C-alpha cells in the first residue's frame, strides 16, 4: 500500500506563496507511488473535514478542508490520525510552525518543513524548531547553515507563464512592471521614487500590479492620483487569475523587484518565463536568480551587468520585525538584516534599459532560458526522494 504524504498549507486556490508552492509540489508528487492528501487552511470554520474531496479536475490529489489561521496541534494531530498520514509536509515560517512540530512529536510522524528563510542571521528560535524536523527545505543557499537543511527551489509553470507575442517596438512606450503587495519588505515606494527621477527624461511608464484594496496600498494610490503626471498604471491583483497575470507580464519590457529581502521571489521567475529581464536588489538571496556574466557591461560601476537582468546595490540596511498583520509588531526584532535598494542606482539602471532596447531583448532571451531550469516536476521528484527514498 502506498504511503501517505500529508501537505499542510493554505487552500490550494488561494494566491498566497504557500498555496502556489504547495499546490505545485502536491501536483508533482501525485505522479509518484504515494497517496497525496492536501490539507487546505481557510476551507472550513472549525477543525477539518472528515471526507476528502477533489478540488478540481486538474489537481490530481485528495483535498481536505481545514480551519484557518496558524496550525493548531490538536487539528493536525487529529487529521494525521484520521487519514493515516505517514509523513507531514508543510511550508511555514519558524515562528508559526510550533503546532506542526508538536503534532509531529505527538504522532511520531516525521515533519518535513519548507521554511522561506529570506535574510540572515537565522534566529536562534528557528534552530530550535528546525532540529525537531526530519528535514528543512530552503529555496536558497542558506540551507547550508542548517544541519538537516536541503536545497529545494521554487519552480515556475511555463504552461501558465510564457511569452505572448512579446515584441519590443521602438514606437511603444517602454514599460516597467512591479508586482506584489504594498508592504515594507516589498518596498514599492522606492520603485515609484526611481521612476519620478527619470520619467521626464526618457519615454517610459510603470505598471504596478497590486492589491489596491489594502490599507497601505490605498495610501499609495492616493499619492499616485495626486501625482497625475507620473506615468503609473495601477492594475488590481486578483487571486488565481494566471491568464491575467501572464498578460500583464507580457505587456511590460522589464520586471523590477525592489524587495528588501526574499527567500525566493517567484515574481522574478514568472516574469523571466514571459521573456522579461529583471532588475533586482543585490542583497543576500535576492540576487541568486540573476546570472553574473553578461557581454553588455553597464557603464556605471554601481551596477553589475548580468545575463538575465541587472543587480542594484543597496544604499542601507535595516532590521526586520515580525508583522502580526494588524499594525502591531513583536517587541523584539528578529535580528535579520534587510537591504534598501539604492534609488539613485535603480533610476540609473532604468534609464539605461530604456535607452538600450537591444540589450533588453538579449537579456529577455537569457531570462527565458533561465526560467526553464526551474521545473516543478523535477523539484517535486527531488522532494519525493528526500521524503520517502531517503528513509
pLDDT for residue 295 is more than 50 = no
pLDDT for residue 80 is more than 90 = yes
Same domain, 123 and 187: no
Measured between alpha carbons, how far is 93 from 166 in angstroms, rounded to an integer?
A: 37
Q: What value does the mean pLDDT take over residues 211-226?
A: 94
Same domain, 299 and 267: yes
The 10s digit of each residue's pLDDT in 132-188 is: 999 999 999 999 999 999 999 999 999 999 998 755 554 589 999 999 999 999 999
Same domain, 349 and 379: no
What burial letters (b/e) apply to 222-246, b meaning 16+ CB within 10 Å?
eebeeeeebbbeebebeeeeeeebb
Residue 168 domain flag: no
Same domain, 222 and 324: yes
Q: What value does the mean pLDDT take over residues 256-262?
A: 97
Same domain, 202 and 225: yes
Q: Please give the residue that has the higher pLDDT: either 331 or 287.
A: 287
Q: What is the pTM of this model?
A: 0.90
Residue 245 domain flag: yes
Same domain, 316 and 361: yes
Residue 40 domain flag: yes
pLDDT of residue 61: 87
Same domain, 54 and 13: yes
Q: Give residue 107's domain range.
A: 3-155+375-389
3-state helix, strand, coil in the chain (%, to 5): 35, 20, 45
pLDDT for residue 331 is more than 50 = no
> The domain that contains 348 carries what CATH number?
3.40.50.2000
Q: Which of these, 206, 184, 212, lies nearest to 319 by C-alpha position?
A: 184
Same domain, 65 and 124: yes
In the chain, how many domains are there? 2
Same domain, 312 and 339: yes
pLDDT for residue 304 is more than 90 = no
Same domain, 308 and 251: yes
Measured between alpha carbons, how far is 307 from 253 in angstroms, rounded to an integer?
A: 15
Amino acid at each position: 500500500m502506498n504511503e501517505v504524504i500529508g501537505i499542510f498549507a493554505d487552500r490550494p486556490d488561494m494566491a498566497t506563496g504557500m498555496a502556489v508552492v504547495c499546490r505545485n509540489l502536491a501536483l508533482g508528487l501525485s505522479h509518484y507511488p504515494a497517496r497525496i492528501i492536501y490539507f487546505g487552511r481557510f476551507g472550513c470554520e472549525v477543525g477539518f473535514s472528515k471526507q476528502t474531496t477533489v478540488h478540481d479536475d486538474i489537481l490530481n490529489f485528495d483535498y481536505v478542508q481545514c480551519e484557518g489561521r496558524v496550525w493548531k496541534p490538536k487539528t493536525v494531530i487529529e487529521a494525521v490520525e484520521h487519514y493515516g498520514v505517514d509523513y507531514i509536509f508543510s511550508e511555514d515560517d519558524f515562528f508559526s510552525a510550533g503546532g506542526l512540530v508538536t503534532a509531529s512529536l505527538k504522532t511520531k510522524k516525521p515533519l518535513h518543513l519548507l521554511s522561506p528563510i529570506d535574510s540572515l542571521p537565522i534566529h536562534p528560535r528557528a534552530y530550535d524548531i528546525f532540529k525537531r524536523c526530519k528535514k528543512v527545505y530552503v529555496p536558497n543557499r542558506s540551507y547550508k547553515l542548517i544541519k538537516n537543511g536541503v536545497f529545494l527551489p521554487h519552480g515556475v509553470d511555463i504552461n501558465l507563464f510564457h511569452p505572448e507575442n512579446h515584441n519590443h517596438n521602438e514606437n511603444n512606450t517602454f514599460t516597467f512592471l512591479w508586482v506584489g503587495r504594498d508592504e515594507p519588505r516589498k518596498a514599492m515606494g522606492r520603485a515609484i521614487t526611481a521612476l519620478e527621477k527619470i520619467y521626464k527624461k526618457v519615454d517610459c511608464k510603470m505598471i504596478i500590479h497590486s492589491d489596491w484594496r489594502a490599507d497601505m496600498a490605498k495610501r499609495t494610490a492616493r499619492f499616485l492620483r495626486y501625482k497625475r503626471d507620473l506615468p503609473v498604471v495601477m492594475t488590481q491583483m486578483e487571486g488565481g487569475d494566471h491568464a491575467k497575470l501572464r498578460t500583464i507580464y507580457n505587456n511590460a519590457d522589464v520586471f523590477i523587484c525592489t524587495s528588501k529581502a526574499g527567500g525566493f521571489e517567484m515574481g522574478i521567475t514568472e516574469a523571466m518565463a514571459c521573456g522579461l529581464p529583471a532588475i533586482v536588489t543585490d542583497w543576500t538571496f535576492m540576487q541568486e536568480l540573476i546570472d553574473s556574466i553578461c557581454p553588455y557591461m553597464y557603464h556605471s560601476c554601481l551596477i553589475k551587468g548580468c545575463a538575465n537582468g541587472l543587480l542594484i546595490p543597496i544604499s542601507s540596511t535595516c532590521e526586520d520585525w515580525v508583522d502580526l498583520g494588524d499594525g502591531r509588531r513583536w517587541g523584539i526584532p528578529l535580528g535579520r538584516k534587510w537591504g534598501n535598494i539604492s534609488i539613485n542606482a535603480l533610476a540609473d539602471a532604468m534609464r539605461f534599459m530604456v535607452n538600450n532596447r537591444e540589450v533588453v531583448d538579449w537579456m529577455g532571451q537569457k531570462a527565458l532560458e533561465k526560467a526553464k531550469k526551474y521545473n516543478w516536476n523535477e523539484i517535486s521528484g527531488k522532494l519525493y526522494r528526500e521524503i520517502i527514498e531517503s528513509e
